[in-house]
Structure 1
Amino acid sequence: MEENCLAYGIEISDSDWYLTPARVKQLVERMGQHIKKSEEKLAELEAKQQELLEKINCTSKNSSSPPSLDPLHAEKKPEKKKSGKKRGGQPGHKGHSRFLYDVSECESVLDHHPKTCRCCGEILLGEDANPYRHQIVEIPPISPIIVEHRLHQLMCGECGTLTRATLPQDVYPSGYGVRVVALVTVLSGLYRHSQRMVQSAMLDIFGISMSLGTVNNLRLEASNAVESAVEEAKIYVQNSQVVGADETSFFQGNVDGCNDKKSLGWLWVAVTPLVTFFEIALSRCSDAARNLLGENFRGILNSDRYAAYNWVGLEQRQLCWAHLKREFIKISERPGVSSDIGNALVKQQEKLFELWHRVRDGTLKRCEFQLLVQPIRNTINSSLEEAANYEIGSKEKTPLAKTVRTCRQILKVEPALWLFVTVEGVEPTNNAAERAIRPAVIWRRTSFGSQTQAGSYFVQRMLTVVTTLKSQRRNVLEFLTQAVSAKRQGQPTPSLLPQVLATAEESKMLLKTHEFIQFDFSN
């Protein structure tokens, strides 16, 4: 009890305590116990308060939540000062004129000549070698081309048997041509319209009436037509040198009995510059990640710190610095020691990417970049180790305890933070995979997922086809038309793999479409 008194600044000798009446001793002991419980309760409430504050202050800058979910009190970007200039292109700005089609594509070419001089009225003769071109683009009334096949039934004069003619081999029994199938698929898979909206569009725009069941059947036909091409794309991605991966939830119902456990589905994506592969699985575990990347994956994986990717060696991984930045900001917003550690980490991260932007812009050589990164790496490691060395309880939930656990987790994978410094072609963020998966998130929100396994196959295959063809600047409608036609005729499916490029300039142009891989850390 004497120790408790000293803890609260009360000095008491052994003799004084000995002479203290027993009832007073009991009262003091009870008060000491009460104070101890009150302090424990206060610490628990403070930890709970800090936890609630972190949830309230959770934004897109310190967590993985999208900017659209930022609370109203979140810090907004400062408004830019008005320059006083007029809107639009400024003097010296390179103008962009309207695209003109080639003359060979024109329905007709009409020449217009001035008859008289606008100054003196003199009659004008001759031809302009380089006339001003003005084109009118119009769409003719769209009407479907309908071919009717009449199958006659005749009776045999000898035995009386009725025999009906059969359709020619090149006539598909569904009653819809390959381009109709492709159009339905593009409206559903590229533009993410519901089946009822696709039904309405086909009637309103093309004058083709079909039931909702027919819409679904045509979607499934296109899905089966591109199956082999998608599998080929999967193998290509698994054998690529650098792959970005990410995953998001995607609901799959149990209408067909293929999800009797009612497991939550997950949409996985693997991204390379010119081929992207999507896959829906009823799991978010390591087995699903292995199936996505391949059991014998030998490339470099660019991802976040999710544990399902831990089977890939650290020497093959580049962890996303965009996620790390948010973690550092979250740490800096906590009270006490966490704030100092977090601010130090944020400062070093900003220095790192100031240098990286110079490497990307070509103003800093990579060899110089590697030398300048070393002290930054040492400082970041020192801050992480400083936090990791604090002793905390196994179930402690204080802000400092959260910081310590986060820093210890980062230190375990520290070698995977710096692969982009030494290996060209590796980006420091996983922004490419996150951007690729964004259309799927929008699709999920508008469709509420799929109800069958076949529906999930349609989603993953269409996302693979559309994303891959867009990155290669290939026409989605034409590819799907060719794929459905090949499937009906029993011919090989067209490939999603990059085509042989005509020139090096064309190759550079395609790679420029993937500049979204570069992440802007100024936000």
Structure 2
Amino acid sequence: MEIPEEIKSKFPDCPPEIVAYIYYLHEKIDKLEARVTELESRLNLNSSNSGKPPSSDGYTHKNRTTSLRKKTQKKPGGQPGHTGKTLEQSSNPDHLETHSPEVCSCCGRSLQNGAIIGIEKRQVFDLPPPPSIEIIEHQSITKICTHCGGKTSGTFPQGVTQPVQYGSRIKAYLSYLVHYQFIPYERATEACYDLFGISISPGTIVNITRTLSEKLILFHESVKNALKCESVIHNDETGIRVEGKLNWLHVTSSSRLTSYSVQTKRGTEGINNIGVLPIYTGISVHDFWKPYLSYSCTHSFCCAHILRELKRVEEETEQKWPNILSELLIQAKGLKEIFHTDDIPIPRIMMNSIKSSYDELIQAGLDENPPPVHIAGKRGRKKKSFARNLLERLDIHKDGVLRFIEHIRVPFDNNLAERDIRMMKVKMKISGGFRDRANAEAVVLIRSYISTIRKNGERVIEAINDAFNNNPWMPETHTGLNDA
């Protein structure tokens, strides 16, 4: 803000030290006003206009009702044409119980020889009694040869290495409870006692976790190799605590694969340690976090993040272009759902129209938010507004923002990676953090396995049991870089 000319005109009549002090105060006021604006902007941030998680919104009425979803004419619940699912009778029940009347309800005579004229069936779906632990004793018999006198012993089955040990299925059930259902170790031991009648210590569950993770090392390497060949992958990261220090959980995933990794660094050093993005040549979907842009693959940006940022600009500036641009992106998303669902490209004329409107709105925003003017005599560059920074970013990375309308396999947002990482955030809310790095790395490896087998329609407990038996589910590696 410039000092008014009528004030400046009186400076010659003032002592120099007064003039200098006025300039000092004026510069101080500028800095304080900028700081107040920045703090007010931060104060107004919530999950609907920034990347903040919904859990940080609190319980105020305003934050509970803010959403990027638009109101529709649809009523809550199932929509017309929706094929509902209900419990249906089985044609092959496990048990059959008949309930035949003994005497007539009218005259009281015996119905032993009465003719059957109808049968009404009712079925009850229930669980059998809790299973009890089955103890299998393996005996290795040693025999002596009558010919040479040599002694030969029978071979124990693979995996039977201790005088007393738990079998693979009880280990699979405990791993399922702890690492899929996120039941804390102490409560998992209680559940084990209530369900199966055996007492297992939390320390045993820790050892089971380490054993399972060791059996999944080859699986995890196979997943990372398969991700390098996917046409589209998703990337995201979040903070976790390991040994009381801030670490970073990275996720690299696709519609059929998930790979988690714990790194001490958030940026390129951690990403390079994972080893997927540095040599990946397909399309990577992520937010605008700068380290992702340092890799030579094709980039696609999460438009859900952009919609939240546009809402923030609209709330702070009351300008019209953010809302119109949001509606344009949502309209493009609707076209994608219409055409790409059937593997049909969006017609070129429609894509060109969206791109043209996008350019016009970005230019309108740039005109309304000019770059800050450098004031002569002041050192350094003046900070750009959030709106200006966003506009320049959307202008420079236009192709990455609108890539979802050009490629059938590229989604509108990065929700797949965010859903994958959300489950680990649930784990963090329950446990608070990991006491040691080895346990953290073991848990994220197991979660990579569980997430991947779920995406491929496999049963979690059976797949974990197979892993304990040295036969984990493995992904098929195929080259699909041209499928996008």
Deviation at 1:296, TM superposition (A): 1.7
Deviation at 1:211, TM superposition (A): 2.4
What pairs with 1:297-376 in structure 2 (closer than 5 Å)? 297-313=280-296, 316-335=298-317, 339-340=318-319, 343-362=320-339, 366-367=346-347, 368-376=349-357
TM-score, length of structure 1 as denominator length: 0.74
Q: Given the alignment, which residue of 391, 398, 411 partners 1:407?
A: 391
Runs of 4+ in 1 over 6 A off after TM superposition: 78-81, 87-93, 113-123, 150-153
SS state at 2:208 partner = helix
Structure 2 portions without partners, runs of 5+ = 143-150, 479-484
CA contact (8 A) 2:467 2:473 kept: yes
SS state at 1:470 partner = helix
- Give aligned-pair identity as a percent: 23
CA contact (8 A) 2:362 2:394 kept: no
**Could you say if the C-alpha distance between residues 453 and 90 of structure 1 is closer, same or farther in structure 2, counting changes exceeding 3 Å?**
closer
Deviation at 1:481, TM superposition (A): 0.6
Q: Given the alignment, which residue of 471, 474, 486 partners 2:458?
A: 474
Separation in 1 of the partners of 2:169 and 2:203?
18
In the alignment, is residue 391 of structure 1 matched against residue 365 of structure 2?
Answer: no
Deviation at 1:66, TM superposition (A): 1.6
Which residue matches 2:363?
382
Separation in 1 of the partners of 2:197 and 2:335?
56
Structure 1 portions without partners, runs of 5+ = 18-23, 154-162, 255-261, 487-491, 500-523
Q: Given the alignment, which residue of 105, 116, 119 partners 1:125?
A: 116
Which residue matches 1:59?
46
In the alignment, is residue 39 of structure 1 matched against residue 26 of structure 2?
Answer: yes
**Could you say if the C-alpha distance between residues 369 and 4 of structure 1 is closer, same or farther in structure 2, counting changes exceeding 3 Å?**
closer
CA contact (8 A) 2:209 2:443 kept: no
Which residue matches 1:434?
418
CA contact (8 A) 2:233 2:285 kept: yes
SS state at 1:329 partner = helix
Separation in 2 of the partners of 1:281 and 1:181?
28
Amino acid at match of 1:312: Y
**Could you say if the C-alpha distance between residues 109 and 223 of structure 1 is closer, same or farther in structure 2, counting changes exceeding 3 Å?**
same
Separation in 1 of the partners of 2:381 and 2:96?
80
CA contact (8 A) 2:248 2:264 kept: yes
Separation in 2 of the partners of 1:199 and 1:369?
59
Deviations 1:18-56 (A, max 9, x none): xxxxxx642xx3443333222222222211211221121
Q: Given the alignment, which residue of 296, 302, 305 partners 2:279?
A: 296
Q: Given the alignment, which residue of 83, 94, 103 partners 1:107?
A: 94
Amino acid at match of 1:300: I
**Could you say if the C-alpha distance between residues 228 and 4 of structure 1 is closer, same or farther in structure 2, counting changes exceeding 3 Å?**
closer
SS state at 1:140 partner = coil
**Could you say if the C-alpha distance between residues 203 and 431 of structure 1 is closer, same or farther in structure 2, counting changes exceeding 3 Å?**
same
Which residue matches 2:401?
417
Deviation at 1:189, TM superposition (A): 0.8
Q: Given the alignment, which residue of 239, 259, 275 partners 1:277?
A: 259
**Could you say if the C-alpha distance between residues 277 and 114 of structure 1 is closer, same or farther in structure 2, counting changes exceeding 3 Å?**
farther
Deviation at 1:416, TM superposition (A): 1.3
**Could you say if the C-alpha distance between residues 392 and 143 of structure 1 is closer, same or farther in structure 2, counting changes exceeding 3 Å?**
farther
**Could you say if the C-alpha distance between residues 180 and 319 of structure 1 is closer, same or farther in structure 2, counting changes exceeding 3 Å?**
same
Amino acid at match of 2:336: V
Separation in 1 of the partners of 2:17 and 2:191?
79
In the alignment, is residue 184 of structure 1 matched against residue 167 of structure 2?
Answer: no
Separation in 1 of the partners of 2:362 and 2:4?
43
**Could you say if the C-alpha distance between residues 39 and 166 of structure 1 is closer, same or farther in structure 2, counting changes exceeding 3 Å?**
farther
SS state at 1:265 partner = strand
Q: Given the alignment, which residue of 74, 78, 99 partners 2:62?
A: 74
**Could you say if the C-alpha distance between residues 43 and 184 of structure 1 is closer, same or farther in structure 2, counting changes exceeding 3 Å?**
same
Amino acid at match of 2:456: Q
SS state at 2:316 partner = coil
CA contact (8 A) 2:453 2:460 kept: yes
SS state at 1:74 partner = helix
Deviation at 1:58, TM superposition (A): 0.9
Amino acid at match of 2:223: A
TM-score, length of structure 2 as denominator length: 0.80
Deviations 1:415-446 (A, max 9, x none): 21121121111112111111111010111122
CA contact (8 A) 1:469 1:496 kept: no
Which residue matches 2:146?
none
Q: Which moved more, 1:53-62 or 1:65-74?
A: 65-74
Amino acid at match of 1:178: S
In the alignment, is residue 461 of structure 1 matched against residue 445 of structure 2?
Answer: yes
